[in-house]
Structure 1
Amino acid sequence: MSVLPWGVWALVRLTGAESGFPAVALIAFTPYVAATSVLPVALALLARRGWVALAAAATAVALVGCVLPRGLPGSAPDAGGPRLTVLSANVYFGLADPDALVRLVREHGVEVLSLQELTPQFDDALTRSGLRSHLPYGVTDAATGPVGGAVYSAHPVDEIGGTDRSAYFAMPRARLRVPDAMPVEVVSTHAMPPSDAAAVPAWRDSLRELPDARPNGRVRVLAGDFNATLDHAVFRSLLDTGYSDAAAATGSGWTATWPVDRPLPGTAIDHILVDHRVAVHRTSVHTVPNTDHRAVLAELTLPRA
C-alpha cells in the first residue's frame, strides 16, 4: 500500500490548497483519513521498508496533529459575567418538527435560538408550539425554501444590526442586552454548500462575508450551518480573527452534525463560534425529527459589563 494518498491529503490540508471541487468537499473527511493513516505505517514496517515507514509516520503525525486538538478540551477565559445558553438548528426548508425544537428550548433553558432555512410557515408553527413564551424577542427573515433565518432571544433586542441578506442566504443579526454582560451580537449563519464546482466560489464568498471577531470591541457569537469544518482553510481564517469553536473548546469537535438521514460518514459543519473572551462550559448535539442536521447547543459565560 502506497503512502502517497495520505501524503497528498496531508499536504492539501496543511497548505489549505483545497481550492476547487471535489477537494473542498473531500477535505471535510480529514478525521477519517487521519484515523486510517496508521495503515501505511504498519504495512511498511511489515515489509521492512524503512524509509517508506518513516515517510508514512511523518504523514500520520501531520494528519493526527490536525485533528487531535479538537478532541481535547482547552482552557476557558475568566469571563465573569452571566451564563447564556445558545441553540442553533438548520430546520431543512421549514420541515423540521417544531414541537421537538421548542421542547429542546424548554428542557435546556435556551436563551438564544439561531435558525437557518426558516420559512414563514415554520415561524408560525413555532409560535403555535409556544416558542414565544420562552423567547419573545428577536429578528426573523423568513422566506420560502432554504433562504430564511432567525435569531430568537429571551433577552431584549436592544439594537438590530440588520438582516444582512446576502446573495445567497439570509443571515439575521441581533444585538442582545443581557443583564450584567457586555452587549452581544448574535449572527444566524448559513453559508452556501460547496455541492459542485460552480458552487465553490459562492461557498467561499459566503464565509468571507461573515463578520470578524473583535477581541477588544463588540462581543460576537456566530451560530449556524457553516457548511465547513475545521479542516477548511477559509473557516480556519475566520477563527483566526478571534473566534473559538465551542465544540472544539470542550473537546467535542469530532462530533458530527450532518448528515442525519443519509448513508455518508458524518461531518461537523454546524458550529457555534464565540469571541475569545467568552467561556464555553458545555456543548452537545441533538437530533430534531425531519431535518438532516443535528442541532448544536452551547452553554456560555459572557464577559461582565
Structure 2
Amino acid sequence: MSSDPHGRMVGVEDEELPRKRGGGCATALLTLLTLALCGWAALSLASLDRDRYTVAVAALTQYAVVAGAVLLLIALLLRRWLNVLVVALVVAALSYYVVPRALPDEVPPAAGAPLKVMSFNAYLGRADAERIAAEVRRNRIDVLSVQELTPQLVSRLEAAGLFAELPHRVLHPGPAGEGTGIVSRYPLRELGEMPETVLAQPSALVDLPGRDVELTAVHAFWPMGESGTGTWEQDLRALPGPSRTDRARVLAGDFNATLDLTRMREFIGRGYTDAAAATGQGLLPTWPSGWFPPPVTIDHVLTSGNIRPEHYRVLDVPGSDHRAVLVTLRVMP
C-alpha cells in the first residue's frame, strides 16, 4: 500500500509499473530482423544457396556480420534478452566463418621460384590498356590472366607495349565478355580450353626455370542471369581439380563467386588454396570498383601442388568495373 498526494491509500495495482524500453511494435520488428539475420546466415552456414536469388544474398554474407553487430547493439539497448542471445550466437558463428579470411596463415619462410601473377577483368574490353601495361611493368608481373578480352583490346595492349614486356601469349579474344587470354614472361604451351564452358577459359603450361606451372585463366558465367546458377555451376565443375601428380596448378580469374557460396567452397575444398584468404586479404573486394552494389570478392587466384601465396593486393584500373588482383606466389621445387 502507498498514499497518493492527497494522503489516500492506494493499492499496488494502481501504481504505474516500470516498462521495458520500447513497446510491442519494437519487439515485433526486432524479432523479424532477428529471424531475417538467421535466414541470411543459414544460406551459407547451412548451404541453402541453391538459386540465383539465394546465391545473390549469400554472396554478401560478410556484411551479415556487420548487420548482426548493429542488431545486437539495438537488442542490448532495448533489453530484449532473448533477441540478444540469438543474435549473439549468430554473430559468433558468422565471425568464426568470415574473420579467418582477414588473418594470414602462419607458415615458415620457404625457398622456391617467385611467380608474380596478375588477374584482371577488362569489362567488355573497355579497360585502359596503357594503365594495364604500366602496372605490369611497374610490378614486374610474370603472368597476366585477362578476362573479357576483345580483339580491339588486344590491339590497344600491343600498342601500349604489353607484349614487349610479356612476349608469350595464349589469346582467345571474343566479342563482349566472351574472350580470355594468358600473357607471360616465360614460354607458354597451350593445353586447350576448358570443355563445356560458355566463356573462353584457356589453360597453358608456364615454363618456369626449374618447374613448370599449369595456369588456367578462369571466367565462370554470371550466376544471376536468366539461366540461373546452372551454367555457372557447370563452369565451376569443368575447371581442373588439384593435380594428383603434385603438378603446380594455378587458377586465376573471375569466378563470379565469393567464398561464401557453397559451390565455391566445395570446389576449393578439393585441395586448392585461395591466395587472398591465405595472406589475410580475403575481405578485399574486387567487384564492383565503386560502392554499389556492395563490393565483394569474386576474382580469385587459387593454387595447388606445393605453391605458397606470399603477397596479395588489388588495384583499380580505369575503364573497368573490376579491380585487378596481384599475387606473388612461391613455387617450391
Instruction: Give TM-score, length-normalised by structure 1.
Output: 0.94
Q: Deviations 1:79-100 (Å, cap 9, x if unpaired)? A: 5221010001001111111100
CA spacing shift, 1:78–1:220, aligned 2, 3 Å: farther
Aligned match of 1:303 = 332
2:201 to 171, 176, 179: 171
Deviation at 1:165, TM superposition (A): 5.8
Matched, 1:217 2:246: yes
- The 5 A counterparts of 1:214-253 are 214=243, 216-253=245-282
Superposed displacement of residue 42, structure 1? 2.7
Q: Which residue of 1 aligns with 2:129?
A: 98
Superposition pairs for residues 78-89 of structure 1, below 5 Å? 79-89=110-120
Q: Where does structure 2 lack aligned partners over 5 or more consecutive residues?
A: 1-29
Partner of 1:205: 234
CA distance in 1, matches of 2:251, 2:107: 18
Deviation digits for residues 120-162 of structure 1 (CA, Å, limit 9, x no counterpart) = 11112111111111111121111111101011110112x3211
Query: Does residue 53 of structure 1 match 2:84?
Result: yes
Q: Which amino acid aligns with 2:162?
A: L
Offset at residue 39 of structure 1 (A): 2.8
| Partner-residue secondary structure (3-state), 1:285 | strand
CA RMSD of aligned residues (A): 1.6
Whether contact under 8 Å (2:249, 2:305) holds in the other structure is: no
Whole-Å Cα distance in 2 between the matches of residues 216 and 18 of structure 1? 33
Q: Which of the numbers 310, 321, 327 marks the counterpart of 1:281?
A: 310
Summarize the Cα distance change of 1:75–1:216 in structure 2 as closer, same or farther, 3 Å threshold. farther
Q: Which residue of 1 aligns with 2:286?
A: 257
The equivalent of 2:69 in structure 1 is 38
> What is the distance in 1 between the residues matched to 2:108 and 2:179?
34
User: In the alignment, residue 148 of structure 2 is paired with which amino acid?
Assistant: E
Q: How many residues align?
A: 302
SS in 2 for 1:162: strand
Change (3 A) 1:20 1:77: farther
1:130 to 161, 174, 177: 161
Relative to the length of structure 2, the TM-score reads 0.86
Deviations 1:252-280 (A, max 9, x none): 11111111246321111011111162111
CA distance in 2 between partners of 1:95 and 1:129 (Å): 14
- For 1:34 and 1:276, locate their aligned partners in 2 and report how far apart those are by CA, in whole Å: 33
The counterpart of 1:28, out of the listed 44, 59, 73, is 59
Q: Is the 8 A contact 1:214 1:242 kept in 2?
A: no
1 CA distance for matches of 2:285 and 2:98? 13
Deviations 1:8-67 (CA, angstroms, capped at 9, x unpaired): 112221121100121111111111111121233333333433333221111111111111
Structure 1, unaligned runs of 5 or more: none
Aligned residue identity for 2:44: R
